[in-house]
Amino acid sequence: KQEVTQIPAALSVPEGENLVLNCSFTDSAIYNLQWFRQDPGKGLTSLLLIQSSQREQTSGRLNASLDKSSGRSTLYIAASQPGDSATYLCAVKSISGQNFVFGPGTRLSVLP
């Protein structure tokens, strides 16, 4: 059974810092991994999707990497801004299952 964890659970940084969020999964047989952000009281916004054959994906100040063999993905946020404050979730689509399995999220606060 796929299990997904995220470290840290919460992170507070001053504006302008570069930061890394971590996602780990137990079953490396995956189709893809997706990163989302969730603002309080809102739904999820898709940030990046990495297919199992890819090593990384970039979108603006965001870069996500995937090391499937070690069961890890990182989300790198460059030059953080207060508007980046949200909860960041990763989700894994396993080959053995039909659904995505979500991690518990990392709550990010970027202080002005």
Partner 1 sequence: GAGVSQSPSNKVTEKGKDVELRCDPISGHTALYWYRQSLGQGLEFLIYFQGNSAPDKSGLPSDRFSAERTGGSVSTLTIQRTQQEDSAVYLCASSPGQYNEQFFGPGTRLTVL
By the rule CB under 8 A, 70 interacts with partner 1: no
Report how far Cα 96 is from the mean position of its chain's Cα atoms.
21
Number of residues engaging partner 1 in binding (CB under 8 A): 22
> By C-beta, is 85 or 106 nearer to partner 1?
106
Question: What sign does the dihedral 30-61-9-86 (CA atoms) show?
Answer: negative
> By C-beta, is 71 or 105 nearer to partner 1?
105
The length of the chain in residues reads: 112
Q: Which of residues 2-21 bind partner 1 (CB under 8 A)?
A: none
By the rule CB under 8 A, 45 interacts with partner 1: yes
Single-letter code of the amino acid located at 74: T
By the rule CB under 8 A, 22 interacts with partner 1: no
Distance CA 69, CA 27 (A): 9
Distance CA 60, CA 106 (A): 20
Chain positions contacting partner 1, by CB under 8 A: 31-32, 34, 36, 42-46, 49, 89, 91, 93, 97-105
